[in-house]
Amino acid sequence: MSGLAGQSLAGQGVAGQGVVVTGAGHGIGAALAEAFAAQGARVVVNDLDADSARAVAERIGGFAAPGDAAGAEGVAELIAAARKHLGAIDVYCANAGAAVGGGADAGPKAWATAWDVNVMSHVRAAEQLLPDWLERGEGRFVATVSAAGLLTMLDAAPYAVTKHGALAFAEWLSATYRHRGLRVHALCPQGVRTRMLDATGRAGEVLLAPTAIEPAAVAETTLRSIAAGEFLILPHSETAGFYAARATAPDHWLDGMNRLQQTIDQGTAKTPEKG
């Protein structure tokens, strides 16, 4: 995080702020927690994996609040514990996610898990946080979505569809409450070298691995985008071009994605191409 040291946060500095990061025992969440702490924030570290939550909290001088950050009960408990420790929550990073693969036949359990962890965790957190934030006239919601929410993820329909849902909810929050002091950010990386990437199999190998970046780089871009007041956080510079192609030339974009699917099916990896 040395690139951020001493950088002006244009009146939006996080020093002293109370920050919650879900799924922060590993990967992107751990890097976000570390980056916020390095900027002087007071960080609550959540993860289902209690040992890893405690280890990260200890490393960064944060507070561990292990538990489920997706179900209604778990979210309520986490937010109560965080408020007790922090006084108030200034920033909530809804980062925990589930990499659910499969297609139309993935089955009801897989679809329900993806919906619960990737979308409803955000809705439930917002339900708990909004009354206080609207009363105070400020609050910041950082949704870890994915480039899959702007584009798609091959071989993982439940993941792609629910990440689109997470993006839609973040957009709705921002459009609805911007004038009342709520700041919303949608973090949309392509491949990031974490345990989740390791578990994405052949599609991850073809689509994500060739341009994968480190979690620390994602966290650095996130803090920069927060400082700049940007809704969309794009750690990979090429994502904006793919997103524009999807909007302006959808058939061309879909042809390109389908070629990648054929590459996955044939078992001959090649670097993803634009469009």
Q: Decide: is 196 part of the binding site for ligand NAD (CB under 6 A).
A: yes
Judged by CB under 6 A, the stretch of 44-52, 104-112, 130-138, 178-186 that binds ligand NAD is 44-52
* E runs forming strands in 67-195: 91-94, 139-144, 182-187
CA distance 58 to 81: 17
Residue 181, both tokens: 């002091």
Sheet holding 139-144, edge to edge: 63-64, 42-45, 18-21, 91-94, 139-144, 182-187, 232-233
Judged by CB under 6 A, the stretch of 10-18, 26-34, 103-111, 223-231 that binds ligand NAD is 26-34
DSSP for 225-255 reads HHHHT-SEE-SSTTHHHHHHHHHH-HHHHHH
CB closer to ligand NAD, 46 vs 221:
46
Paired with 139 in beta bridges are 182
Among 126, 105, 123, residue whose Cα is nearest residue 115: 123
Q: Decide: is 70 part of the binding site for ligand NAD (CB under 6 A).
A: yes
Minimum distance from residue 136 beta carbon to ligand NAD (Å) = 26
Minimum distance from residue 230 beta carbon to ligand NAD (Å) = 17
Q: Which of 60, 119, 126, 144 binds ligand NAD (CB under 6 A)?
A: 144
CA distance 141 to 182: 8
Residue 237, both tokens: 């510079």
Question: Which phi-psi region, left, alpha or beta, contains residue 27 (left: φ > 0; alpha: ψ -120 to 50)?
Answer: left
Site string for ligand NAD, 107-136 (x = CB under 6 A): ----------x-------------------
Q: Decide: is 191 part of the binding site for ligand NAD (CB under 6 A).
A: yes
Q: Decide: is 194 part of the binding site for ligand NAD (CB under 6 A).
A: yes
CB closer to ligand NAD, 82 vs 96:
96
Minimum distance from residue 259 beta carbon to ligand NAD (Å) = 21
End-to-end Cα spacing for the chain:
32
Q: Decide: is 101 part of the binding site for ligand NAD (CB under 6 A).
A: no
Q: Decide: is 146 part of the binding site for ligand NAD (CB under 6 A).
A: yes
Minimum distance from residue 181 beta carbon to ligand NAD (Å) = 26
The residues binding ligand NAD (CB under 6 A) are 22-23, 25-29, 46-49, 52, 68-70, 95-98, 117, 144, 146, 189, 191-192, 194-197, 208
